């Protein structure tokens, strides 16, 4: 694709050699004459000046000192995501059911569905137009998969799960396993039956080895456009709002509510029935106590989670503790000397 064509497709302007052919996107450090690189931020712009990339995606205010071939865009990171999809399209898969797959007779498969080797689809399930079920996937009875979904290898979807359109499920993720519900009776734990459901909205992406538990009663719900990283745990009866982002190794206990556009960092722990209001930000490694409410737009950090300003102040104060301890020790010794002197006199 020529630089001129790429700029036109992006609705942007170019400078330099508009006829240059570009075929791939790569890092600024490794880019060559046929590659596109992008510079988002001042540090990246400095790297871009020395890059061998044939074309650069840069911000509108980038200074083109060396007369490089470039395309100016409002958001280089967003633009390069589009360019990657154009120059590196996802592999296509021929529709049809692999001979080694097991599909029950009453399953409804939409037009263009692909079912990979060793996959199984239970009775009464429905698979929407253009959806791909990868090798080794296990789809339970009555499951609904929407249109143009992508299930990578070895995804497990239990009975009682509805998945929206254009959902991406990465390898090893599990939807609809029982929630962690037990009742202690006569010194022994008895299982509390988990008879609820899971509903996944449109355009959700769920990472590898992430688990979304079914509700004990009612629905565990993941809203439209939510993005869950690898190794995330969503407990029973949680409600995750639209366009929420949750990073790896985060765990939500039962009944947690996360409202629209909240951002949750990695290794965060959230207690039962906590509420994270819209556009709140939980920094990595923080802990939210049971029933706690993190207010809309608030940024919190630490365990227990506190407003970022408060947490940073406390960290700063902690730095003075060794010196304070030394001073207290010296004061204690001085007092002891004065008391000893007083006793002698």
Q: CA-CA distance, 104 to 31, in Å (whole number)?
A: 49
Cα-flanking dihedrals φ and ψ of residue 211, to 5°? -120, 130
What mean pLDDT comes out for the span 214-233? 97
- What pLDDT, on a 0 to 100 scale, did the predictor assign at position 340? 82
What is the Cα 8 distance to its own chain's centre? 32
Pair of tokens at residue 134 = 């990868």
Q: CA-CA distance, 114 to 198, in Å (whole number)?
A: 23
Could you list the active site residues?
Answer: 236
Which residue is associated with the tokens 């929630």?
179
pLDDT value at 331 more than 70 = yes
pLDDT confidence bin for 320, thresholds 50/70/90: confident
Poorest-confidence range of 30-44, 252-266, 287-301?
30-44
What mean pLDDT comes out for the span 151-158? 98
Pair of tokens at residue 111 = 């037009």
Q: CA-CA distance, 212 to 52, in Å (whole number)?
A: 44
Pair of tokens at residue 345 = 């006199």
pLDDT value at 293 more than 70 = yes
pLDDT confidence bin for 114, thresholds 50/70/90: very high
pLDDT confidence bin for 345, thresholds 50/70/90: low
């Amino acid at each position: 694709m020529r630089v001129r064509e790429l700029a036109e497709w992006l609705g942007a302007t170019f400078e330099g050699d508009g006829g240059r052919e570009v075929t791939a996107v790569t890092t600024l450090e490794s880019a060559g004459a046929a590659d596109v690189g992008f510079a988002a931020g001042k540090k990246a712009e400095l790297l871009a000046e020395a890059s061998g990339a044939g074309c650069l995606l840069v911000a509108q205010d980038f200074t083109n000192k060396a007369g490089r071939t470039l395309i100016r865009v409002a958001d280089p990171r967003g633009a390069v995501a589009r360019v990657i999809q154009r120059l590196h399209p996802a592999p296509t898969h021929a529709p049809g059911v692999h001979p080694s797959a097991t599909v029950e007779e009453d399953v409804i498969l939409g037009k263009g569905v692909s079912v990979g080797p060793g996959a199984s689809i239970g009775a009464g399930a429905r698979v929407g137009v253009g959806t791909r079920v990868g090798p080794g996937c296990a789809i339970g009875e009555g499951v609904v998969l929407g249109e143009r979904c992508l299930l990578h290898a070895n995804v497990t979807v239990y009975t009682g799960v509805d998945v929206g359109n254009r959902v991406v499920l990465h390898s090893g993720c599990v939807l609809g396993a029982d929630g962690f519900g037990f009742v202690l009776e006569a010194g022994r734990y008895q299982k509390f039956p988990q008879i609820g459901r899971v509903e996944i909205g449109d355009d959700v992406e769920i990472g590898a080895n992430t688990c979304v538990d079914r509700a004990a009663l009612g629905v565990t719900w993941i809203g439209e456009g939510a993005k869950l990283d690898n190794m995330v745990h969503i407990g029973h009866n949680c409600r995750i709002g639209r366009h929420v982002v949750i990073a790896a190794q985060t765990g939500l206990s039962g009944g947690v509510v996360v409202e629209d556009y909240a951002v949750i960092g990695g290794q965060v722990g959230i207690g039962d029935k906590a509420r994270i209001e819209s556009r709140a930000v939980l920094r990595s490694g923080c802990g939210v106590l049971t029933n706690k409410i993190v207010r809309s737009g608030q940024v919190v950090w630490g365990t227990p989670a506190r407003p970022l300003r408060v947490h940073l102040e406390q960290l700063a104060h902690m730095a003075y503790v060794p010196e304070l301890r030394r001073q207290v020790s010296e004061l204690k010794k001085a007092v002891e000397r004065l008391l000893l002197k007083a006793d002698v006199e």
